[in-house]
Structure 1
Amino acid sequence: MKVLLVAVNSKFIHSNLAVRYLKAFTKDIEYNCKVREFSINDIVDKVLQEIINEKPNLVAFSCYIWNIEYIKMLANLIKCVDENIEILYGGPEVSYDCKEFLINNPGEFLIEGEGEKTYREFIQLKLLKKDFTEVNIKGLYTKTENGVFYSGKREYMDMNELVFPYEENDKLDNKIVYYEASRGCPFNCKYCLSSTFHGVRFLNIERVKKELKYFINKKVKLVKFVDRTFNCNPKFAMEIWSFLINEETNTTFHFEISADILTKEEIKILAKAPLNRFQFEIGVQTTNNKVLKNINRYVNFEDIKEKVEELQKIKNIKQHLDLIAGLPEEDFKSFKKSFNDVYSIYPEEIQLGFLKLLKGSDMREEASKWGMVYSPYPPYEILKTNHISYEELVKLKRVEMVLDKYYNSGKFRNILKYFIIKFKTPFDFYYEMGSFLYYKGYLNRNISAADYYKVFIEFNEEVLKENSILLKEIIKFDYLKYNKKKWLPPFLDRYVDKDKEKEIKSKIKKGEICNFDKFHIEKFNINIIKYVSLGIIEKGNFYVIFDEKDRNGIVSI
């Protein structure tokens, strides 16, 4: 029997942990099992060909909100080509309306919830060729001529029974690799599926260290822990962080944490981390205490802010803060305040997300209570509530586009600083910029890398009605810092003084200015470094030397 475990990821760079777990948990069983990973950007017909060419007896799909429509299409096509290929579904997107899903879609089997043990028993029974309706496999739904047979819920397993899902010959280059040291969450946020079960289970800590060593030895670029709140057990978190801090590696480890519960001892340990060793994702969601209470989050934004700012002081951990629009009783004005509160911290990234009413979540059950209307199609995104209209959410989507492109990329920081102070609040700038880009048609088409800079000049002159002489110098600085130096877009001015450049190059070679091996010299008509660091405008002829090998290597003369 050949089983094909199929993952359809949201991006090529992503990897799937679930299908690897299933394969690893049955590796001692004699059957032909193969993992195939695709992405939702792949042409369906090509993926179908790949699956059929494998000649499987059974195809098992890992189902999520981002891939379920794609998988349903694939399942239909598989049955059209060969109705003898059996189909098994699993994953969070099919675990809360299992019977209905299996009735309405092609396929014979569905695993509910945590799948490793159910899948193992399923394979064993398959090999014995026994009737699934006569054997009690907890967590399994089976479609028969008489309807759908269900054996009942399965208890959660001891995590230490799991088999490490990665193998020595796995090719993980240029992939985001996922890992979990715990399952469950101590909190019960209504919009999250973790609210549907209680308690947190942990892997043995020595085992975790050993497995993390595998990623370090493989020189994986980024390992993302999928633990819902990694620091919910401070002792566990500190030991893992200390272990990773003391390792010689260039691997970055990403954790979802709750900043407000960080202890002084944890921050003291984190202060020792090498630059880029860790990055943290912190869910703020809203700074409105009433809204927080509505979603079962009992946290104070000031506590989060305090800890985030403490981490900023040690300057070694990239922080990504999340906001969610469309939460119960949060109106446009309240969300604007939440945005400005989070922006005031200046984390490396801010993600503006929109509420998803997931199957099985408490928030979905309470939708009518809050007047929530959401899309009936995955990812079940909020359309409107009693407190925020569809039109207002659309406007926030424009804010999100500007925020993600310009703030989160980190390539436009000085340009953004120039504009932010011209508005009452940061939100007002992003709102106006989003509206401008929308009405100019820039949000509906691809624009060149240079045009991403040019729109600031258009915005400055058409909306603010201001002169762009200073702005162009700031844009030129940000552009040269993050792009190739030999060419400048035609809307920026390049001043060439060959004699002065020759003099500077001579001094550099003598080691009098800097020791850059490969560099670029650019003339500015203001002291751009003084402006960037102090906000002071000093006119004149100034030269900036950019290190071609290190974008932070910049010297002004």
Structure 2
Amino acid sequence: MRLIWLDINASYSHSSLALPALHAQLTDYQSETLVWHVVSGTINSDPSLLLLEISDFNPDIILSTAWLFNHTFILNLLGRYKRLNPSASIIIGGPEFFGENKGYLTTNRFITAVFRGEGEESFPLLVDTHFKPSFWNIIPGMCWINESGDYVDNGEALVSHFSMLKPPETSRFFSWGKHFAQIETSRGCFNSCTFCVSGGSRKVQNITPSKIRERLNFFFLKGIKEIRVLDRTFNANAERAEELLDVFNDFKGKMRFHLEIHPALLSENVRRKLAMVEPGLLHLEAGLQSLDNNVLIACKRAGSSEKSVEGVKFLVSLDKFELHVDLIAGLPFYTYAAIIEDVKFLLTLGVEEIQIELLKLLPGTKLKEDAYKYEIVYSPTPPYEVLKTSTISVNELHKVTILSKMIDIWYNNTIWRDTFKKLHQENPTFLEAFLDNVLTNNLLCNRLSQENNGILLYEFCIEYYKKAVFDVASAWVIAGFSLKKGPGKLAEPWIRGISKENNPLYNKSEEPNMFNYYYIQGENEKLWFAMDKKDKKGKPAKIYL
């Protein structure tokens, strides 16, 4: 039997564990009963080329995983192929199918079946039955329309023995072509967030720290430098989090770990462990979602906003790792004004990244079921983003979308972060004023270069915040942007023997023609910099402020 795995990601920087996680559970005999072929691409790939590759292989069955951002692409591609080969079976799994699937299968009759839940224990059964529908009644998670036209639903498949699964990296389909690897140390979530597919759906199961250490050693020997831990809430179990931090700390200087934590649930012992880790060992993602307790209560998210604030302040105070914080616009009772205040608080605090996402009403979630209660209107097609709620309008959500882009361009980017933060701290109304300017002039309708982003901020400051012009120009120069445009034009050349200013960078012992010297004059300060004449990259060789 000829099988294609259709692997479509949002971009080439993303990676899915679905295929290696499933394939690793097969015996050699089961794997050898199939002729495998992987068709890989992104949502920006040319579908005609992917269609040609699928057609050339002439599969009996196609398997794929559908997510929010690849679902439409996959559906269109598979619909075309089914026209070319009506006898091919198509089975899709993934988070898109945690909800009711009868309507989906009725609408998309070219899809043979969909799979709901965790597939590692069901997949070997599917292979043993040679993918024949007559045997699917014994396979948890399978949903299909049988030959009689009746919809059959085998519920949700949940892995019974997560710790006994063979790791994805043991599969020949595991991708070693990226600098990072993903690992689940646990499955399930203690939380009951109504907007999440993991909210209270299963008992949490863990892999022992000793097994995790073995796997990390294997990754290290393979040259992997970055580990992205996929656990929903790393510190849900404080004692286990302490043990894993000890394991991670043993790889200091060798690996870096990305973790998702809940700042409201930081125990004293976990805090002590975090305070002891080596700088740079961890990249932490803190899912605040909102700092409004009414929002958190409506979403049944554990932890109060007060404890979350205190936890984030603690993490920032350690100054040992990058801290990425998430907010979700469109949650019940989350107003536009509250979102602005939460962003301003995080800017003041100085976290490294702020991500503002629109709520997605995911299939199978409690919040999608209860959307009418909160007057949540959302897109009927992926990614099911919120369009308005009882507390935030269409116009306000548009503003949030632009605010998110604005933060990503001028704050999450290290080139402008310090300047943006200073502007906010010294001018309480800066955030709203800059957002209004961006909206009024429709400045982010197209993607701009880094230099053009800098020019936008520079021109805004010239008009409204003249004291900040020096900071923008300094950031521009340090980034190595052109001295012939924008704030770069403020740089004055210093010429030995002619300029009267005392140059703190000039050294008589250096070759006379080694550097070109410049300065930018601020209100009460001056930035000096030297450009190496032989260096074409444009970044200053020396800086003095």
Pick aligned residue for 1:94 from 92, 97, 116: 97
* Residue 331 (str. 1) matches residue 327 (str. 2): no
Within-5 A mapping of 1:206-221? 206-221=210-225
Partner of 1:531: none
Stretches of structure 2 lacking an aligned partner (at least 5 in a row) = none
**SS of the residue 1:356 aligns to:** coil
Seen in structure 2, the aligned counterparts of structure 1 residues 87 and 489 have a Cα distance that, compared at 3 Å, is same
Partner of 2:394: 390
* AA matched with 1:51: I
Pick aligned residue for 2:355 from 338, 343, 351: 351
8 A Cα contact 2:473 2:487, kept in partner:
no
Cα deviation for residue 553 of structure 1 reads 9.4
Partner of 1:499: 496
Seen in structure 2, the aligned counterparts of structure 1 residues 251 and 402 have a Cα distance that, compared at 3 Å, is same
Cα deviation for residue 196 of structure 1 reads 5.0
* AA matched with 1:415: T
8 A Cα contact 2:22 2:119, kept in partner:
yes
* AA matched with 1:101: Y
Cα deviation for residue 226 of structure 1 reads 1.5
* AA matched with 1:62: T
**SS of the residue 1:344 aligns to:** helix
* AA matched with 1:260: A
How many residues matched? 529
Seen in structure 2, the aligned counterparts of structure 1 residues 521 and 235 have a Cα distance that, compared at 3 Å, is farther
Partner of 1:47: 50
Partner of 1:538: 524
Question: d(CA) in 2 for partners of 1:202 and 1:16?
Answer: 21
Cα deviation for residue 236 of structure 1 reads 1.9
Question: d(CA) in 2 for partners of 1:326 and 1:73?
Answer: 29
Cα deviation for residue 268 of structure 1 reads 2.2
Question: d(CA) in 1 for partners of 2:182 and 2:69?
Answer: 17
Cα deviation for residue 219 of structure 1 reads 2.8
* AA matched with 1:318: E
Partner of 1:379: 383
User: Could you report, residue by residue, the CA deviation over 1:368-396 in whole angstroms, capped at 9, with x for unpaired residues?
Assistant: 11111111111111111111111111111
Partner of 2:161: 158
Pick aligned residue for 2:485 from 485, 489, 494: 489
Pick aligned residue for 1:172 from 164, 176, 185: 176
Partner of 1:534: none
Aligned sequence identity (%): 25
Stretches of structure 1 lacking an aligned partner (at least 5 in a row) = 511-517, 527-536
Partner of 2:458: 457
Cα deviation for residue 421 of structure 1 reads 4.2
Partner of 1:341: 345
* Residue 414 (str. 1) matches residue 418 (str. 2): yes
Partner of 1:23: 23
Partner of 2:247: 243
Cα deviation for residue 207 of structure 1 reads 1.4
Deviates more, 1:51-60 or 1:168-177: 168-177
Seen in structure 2, the aligned counterparts of structure 1 residues 33 and 240 have a Cα distance that, compared at 3 Å, is farther
* Residue 265 (str. 1) matches residue 269 (str. 2): yes
Deviates more, 1:370-379 or 1:292-301: 292-301
Deviates more, 1:195-204 or 1:64-73: 195-204
Q: TM-score, normalised by structure 1?
A: 0.87
* AA matched with 2:520: F
Q: CA RMSD in A?
A: 2.9
8 A Cα contact 1:219 1:249, kept in partner:
no
Partner of 2:544: 556
Partner of 1:532: none
Question: d(CA) in 1 for partners of 2:251 and 2:223?
Answer: 12
* AA matched with 2:496: D
Partner of 1:530: none
8 A Cα contact 2:24 2:171, kept in partner:
no
Deviates more, 1:140-149 or 1:192-201: 140-149
Question: d(CA) in 1 for partners of 2:38 and 2:519?
Answer: 55
Question: d(CA) in 1 for partners of 2:509 and 2:239?
Answer: 51
**SS of the residue 1:60 aligns to:** strand
Deviates more, 1:90-99 or 1:368-377: 90-99
Question: d(CA) in 2 for partners of 1:162 and 1:289?
Answer: 39
Within-5 A mapping of 1:193-232? 193-232=197-236
Question: d(CA) in 2 for partners of 1:66 and 1:313?
Answer: 36
Seen in structure 2, the aligned counterparts of structure 1 residues 74 and 221 have a Cα distance that, compared at 3 Å, is farther
User: Could you report, residue by residue, the CA deviation over 1:115-154 in whole angstroms, capped at 9, with x for unpaired residues?
Assistant: 1111110111107x68325x52222224332123344544
User: Could you report, residue by residue, the CA deviation over 1:55-114 in whole angstroms, capped at 9, with x for unpaired residues?
Assistant: 322110101111111111011011112122211111110232223322222121222111
Deviates more, 1:110-119 or 1:170-179: 170-179
Q: TM-score, normalised by structure 2?
A: 0.89
* AA matched with 1:143: I
Deviates more, 1:394-403 or 1:500-509: 500-509
